[in-house]
Amino acid sequence: MTAAAPRMPEAAARHTPQSAVVRCRDVRKSFRGLEVLRGIDFDAYDRRVVSIIGPSGSGKSTLLRCLNHLETIDAGEIWFKDELVGYRRRSADVLQEASHAEIARMRARIGMVFQNFNLFGHMSALDNVASGPIHVKGAPRKQARDRALALLERVGLAEKARSYPRELSGGQQQRVAIARALAMEPELLLMDEPTSSLDPELVGEVSEVIRALASAGTTMIVVTHEIPLARDISDEIAFMADGRVQERGPAQTLFSSSQQPWLRKLAQRG
Ligand SMILES: Nc1ncnc2c1ncn2[C@@H]1O[C@H](COP(=O)(O)OP(=O)(O)OP(=O)(O)O)[C@@H](O)[C@H]1O
Ligand SMILES: [Mg+2]
């Protein structure tokens, strides 16, 4: 299989409940009376990539932020493996927000890559990548830095290890950010529009890294407006609109069979 080939389009048929890494059930979220998530049911599976696409304002980023409890939720439940995300159960129908320590422990298992990289400006690329393992996981400094260098090599940036973010292009910064997320050995990687703030000529190098992660079996949820990237890396694509996941399926069938005007328009564009 070439790197560009879609991975296991038949995967959906083989999902078992046991392989769900993320399970969202009727998740609701409002901001000042505006209901942004209006009953989200959404699963993500071990070693699979699901992309989330949909119109601006449909709640994609909000959903992603709820998955690692950067946002609280108003109703419903989110499970990460066998744990409730952000909450503990007080009784059958009462949830209480989890402690800071519990939330931090869970977040350490879920990597996140943001649109705007969010690197530490005062640290070299190497230190950006090594800092999580050292400060969050207590890894020995030498071991963390050796591993950080290996990760920078994996994203094609070993020669930039000593550079500071301001000395790197957007594409290079995003590749450092991906290496930094990987350094924590996440069980799940969330990406929110990882290529959308890049100049067009830099999209390719970041897409290539994401494609390689997908081929290596990294469990990912990727929000993107880059439909070719979504088609390329995803086992399934979920279409969000009006605060709900309206449809999901392998790219081949989602675009051709959907009745959703937004998806049909994309299909016509090719
Ligand atoms: N912290 C917040 N406070 C108030 N409103 C918010 C907040 N975060 C998001 N919203 C609103 O929620 C809605 C959904 O926003 P969200 O960022 O999830 O959309 P999106 O699908 O990611 O859009 P885009 O494709 O443009 O990134 C929007 O109307 C937005 O203005
Ligand atoms: Mg967004």
In this predicted model, what pLDDT tens digit does every residue of 169-225 receive, in sequence order? 999 999 999 999 999 999 999 999 999 999 999 999 999 999 999 999 999 999 999
Q: What DSSP state is assigned to residue 7?
A: P
From 58, 196, 245, mutation site for ligand 1 pocket: most ligand atoms within 8 A of C-beta: 58
Domain boundaries, the chain: 18-109+221-270
9 pLDDT higher than 70:
no
Sheet holding 110-113, edge to edge: 110-113, 188-192, 220-223, 49-53, 236-241, 244-249
Measured from the CA of 243, which atom of ligand 1 is nearest? 14
Q: What is the pLDDT of residues 115-133, one digit of tens each?
A: 999 999 999 999 999 999 9
> In the chain, pLDDT over 90 holds for what percent of residues?
83
Instruction: Return the pLDDT at 264.
Output: 86
Take atom 5 of ligand 1 and give the residue whose Cα is closest.
Answer: 31
pLDDT, residue 18, reads 57
Q: What is the pLDDT of residue 4?
A: 41
Average pLDDT over residues 228-241: 95
How distant, in Å, are the alpha carbons of 11, 38, 188 from that of 6? 11, 31, 20
Protein residues whose CB sits closer than 6 Å to any atom of ligand 1: 31, 36, 56-62
147-164 average pLDDT score: 97
Q: Which ligand is nearest to the CA of 60?
A: 1
Candidate of 61, 116, 239, 244 to mutate for ligand 1, largest count of ligand atoms within 8 Å of Cβ: 61
Q: How far is the CA of 203 from the centre of ligand 2 (A)?
A: 17
Tell me the ligand closest to 53's alpha carbon: 1
Structure tokens at 74: 């108003």
Average pLDDT over residues 238-249: 96
Best of 36, 42, 262 for a ligand 1 pocket test (most atoms within 8 Å of beta carbon): 36
217: alpha, beta or left? (left if phi > 0; alpha if psi -120 to 50): left
- Ligand 2 centre to CA of 94 (Å) is 30
pLDDT tens profile 29-41: 999 999 999 999 9
3-state secondary structure of 234: coil
- What's the average model confidence in pLDDT over 147-173? 97
* pLDDT the model gives residue 259: 85
Ligand 1 centroid vs 61 CA: distance in angstroms? 7
Res. 8 pLDDT band, cuts 50 70 90:
very low
Q: Render pLDDT for 74-114 as a digit per residue (tens, 0 to 9).
A: 999 999 999 999 999 998 888 899 999 999 999 999 999 99
- Residues ≥6 apart with Cβ < 8 Å to 23: 42, 43, 77, 78, 79
Q: Which CATH class is domain 18-109+221-270?
A: alpha beta
- Sorting pLDDT into bands at 50, 70 and 90, what band is 19? confident
Kindly give the interhelix angle for 141-154 and 170-183, rounded to the nearest 10 degrees. 130
Q: How confident is the model at residue 256 (pLDDT cuts 50, 70, 90)?
A: confident
* CA terminus-to-terminus distance, the chain: 23
From the CA of 52, which ligand is nearest? 1
Q: Ligand 1 test: best mutation among 29, 37, 52, 60, most atoms within 8 Å of CB?
A: 60
pLDDT for the residue 15: 55
Q: How far is CA 232 from CA 191, 200, 207, 246, 254, in A?
A: 15, 17, 10, 21, 14
Mean pLDDT across the chain = 91
According to the model, what pLDDT value does residue 209 have? Answer: 95
- Convert 23-62 to b/e letters by CB count within 10 Å (16 or more is b): bbeebbbeeeeeebbeebebbbbbbbbbbbbbeeebbbbb
Ligand 1: centre distance to CA 207 (Å): 24
pLDDT band of 258, cuts 50, 70, 90: confident
Answer left, alpha or beta for residue 23, where phi above 0 means left and psi between -120 and 50 means alpha: beta
Q: What is the DSSP string of 45-77?
A: ETT-EEEEE--TTSSHHHHHHHHTTSS--SEEE
Evaluate if residue 7 carries a pLDDT over 60. Answer: no
Distance 130 CA to ligand 1 centre (A): 32
Position 2 pLDDT exceeds 60: no
